[in-house]
Structure 1
Amino acid sequence: LFLMDNTSSHIPSTFFLIGIPGLEDGRLWTSIIFCVLYILTILGNSSITYIICTEKSLHGPMYFFLAMLAVNDLFLPSSTVPKTLEIFWRNNGRIDAFNCLTQMFFAHFLSVVESGILVAMAYDRYIAICSPLRYSSILTYTALKRIAASILIRAFIAVLPLPIMVGRLHYCGEDVVLHSYCEHGAVVIIMCGDTQVTGLYGFVVALFLASLDVLLIVFSYVMILRAVYKMVSQDARQKTTETCGSHVCVIIIIYSSAFLTFVTYAFGKSDVTYQAHIFLANAYILLPAFCNPIIYGVRTKPIRERVLKVVCHKQKMTKR
């Protein structure tokens, strides 16, 4: 699907990923930090997913989207971090051309899915606060399935052309990708011929989807703030603010890291800014996925209570 025959596209059989330049001297410690963060990310998001799936009291719309986010945060770093660690530990940046394009698809696809989930979570909070009496009738199980399907379909349609167009371009014999994973922009740079179409498509899609999602989230929270302002009870205001606090923290972490990554790539022309872009691109994939279960685990009372219950139960079993 991604590749035409090698004769017509002159695509190399393998690419070589350089990793994260500028961190050669601290390669060991950097790899250890990445590995520890990745393991904790897997454990944290697996725990959130398990708790939501096994606790019947958490089978509501809010936790449905949170479970989607946790599952997405399991797969997104898994699409890039293992190869990055292989570059660190074995100095092996070689990656098969098909695997490179597959990695490109999933890295961008899961990023778009994550942004869509954040919009759905903002919509969920908007309905819960602005129309609480209609909450259960609007966000039915059927509605949740349709929202989830629309998030996946939107991401699939938007991202699928990227590896297809890249796989059909001509190459100049250069197979060194200046990145730690097969990011679309980094692979397009080593192409020959007219790369404007695929480059422009990637830029426009990323900018359009990010702008649209941010606008929808901002609109939701403007309406939420209006509803909170009209509340008479101080306790109700505080409870509403706490309910939305976790989501706002996650939004800030994800979109701020995405914005910094975009700025360093779009406007940075020096070697230093390009090195910063590669580092931030890795941080954008790994750090939010690491932070999300911590934020929701600490700030969401039902999940926090469930975690404490499990920990206390294990301690009692150990003492016995």
Structure 2
Amino acid sequence: MAEAPEPNSTFWHPYFFLLTGIPGLRGAQAWLTLVFGPMYLLALLGNGALLAVVWIDTMLHQPMFLLLATLAATDLGLATSIAPGLLAVLWLGPRSVPYTTCLVQMFFVHALTAMESGVLLAMACDRAVAIGRPLHYPILVTKARVGYGALGLALKAVVIVVPFPLLVARFGHYRAKTVGHAYCAHMAVVELVVGDTRTNNLYGLVLSLAVSGVDILGITGSYGLIAHAVLRLPTWEARAKALGTCSSHICVILAFYVPGLFSYLTHRFGRHTVPKSVHILLSNIYLLLPPALNPLIYGARTKQIRDRLLETFKSKKSQFC
């Protein structure tokens, strides 16, 4: 049990927070499991299948597919960090989450989001080298460098996100224990704090601009180089083939950044015009939609992966026939 409220209606350090789901949609929350449940299932099966295919098929142990496997692993972690708790809240109603567990979830959600953005930038750079300097690609982009790059992205995500739970943990008083959200988002918890939260707000804004802003600029620059290289190709067929290798990545970028940008803008500038339930719904879609769509995009548009999956299904089918 948490300590009794003080006369000034604030709580000392709480033992737990109460997640309420999506305020304003209480009557429809159970039905939303029919949306988020299949999305999580797709994320599990799709990304799990991608990881298995890349792991089993040695022909896919190439930098591009290793980056894809890194993206799939990140998607699995991101979806799993939010979906089980989200589905429990939507189906069963408000649930209590231990204070420490809430901070841990906060860390993983934001760290894996930063990791995914970094992987998308790395994939854009990979395509820029492959199209702009194809003869030097095997030398410049190696499996070892991809491994070191993935490790560097993970360490960067940890370093820049660790301050989030630490900045929250420094507070000792809260005006309530009920979080009007489906997961322990940083700003949703900060709204309950009694004290000066300007540092938290500033760090959240700076981090959003620094991570997403820098990565988007890097992706834009990479595609500028790709466009320059494609325009130098002699035939339309060669240009179409070169751009075709980027189509899956472009779709994945749009699936990640467009919902994220819309969610960010509604949170920062639409608080008084956009209902809070809409903002929370968008933030959940933003975190679960890319993990569900990415394996479908790459599975459908990448020939090597598509062929390997078809071979696997055919071999399984022949075993049962």
TM-score (norm 2): 0.94
* Corresponding position of 2:119: 117
1:249-292 CA-to-partner distances (Å, cap 9, x unmatched) read: 00011000110110111012238432111001100110110000
| Matched-pair contact (CA < 8 Å) for 1:101–1:182 | yes
Identity of aligned residues (%): 39
RMSD of aligned C-alpha atoms?
A: 1.4
Work out the CA distance in 1 between the residues paired with 2:219 and 2:205.
Answer: 21
Give SS of 1:191's match. Answer: coil
Q: CA deviation at 1:203?
A: 1.2
Q: How does 1:88-237 map to 2 (within 5 A)?
A: 88-237=90-239
Among 277, 280, 286, the alignment partner of 1:278 is 280
Work out the CA distance in 1 between the residues paired with 2:27 and 2:176.
Answer: 26
Which consecutive aligned stretches of 4+ in structure 1 deviate over 4 angstroms post-superposition? none
Work out the CA distance in 2 between the residues paired with 1:200 and 1:159.
Answer: 14
1:38-69 CA-to-partner distances (Å, cap 9, x unmatched) read: 11210000000000111111111100110000
1:216-247 CA-to-partner distances (Å, cap 9, x unmatched) read: 00000010011011101332212111110000
Work out the CA distance in 1 between the residues paired with 2:92 and 2:27.
Answer: 15
* Corresponding position of 1:78: 80
| Matched-pair contact (CA < 8 Å) for 1:264–1:274 | no
1:101-135 CA-to-partner distances (Å, cap 9, x unmatched) read: 00000000000000000000001001101111111
Work out the CA distance in 2 between the residues paired with 1:262 and 1:245.
Answer: 26
* Corresponding position of 1:4: none
* Corresponding position of 2:4: none
Q: Which amino acid aligns with 1:55?
A: D
* Corresponding position of 1:264: 266
| Matched-pair contact (CA < 8 Å) for 1:116–1:151 | yes
Work out the CA distance in 2 between the residues paired with 1:111 and 1:171.
Answer: 29
* Corresponding position of 1:240: 242
The answer to whether the aligner puts 1:318 opposite 2:320 as a matched pair is yes
Work out the CA distance in 1 between the residues paired with 2:275 and 2:126.
Answer: 38
Structure 1 alignment gaps of length 5 or more: 1-8
Structure 2 alignment gaps of length 5 or more: 1-10
Number of residue-to-residue matches in the alignment: 311
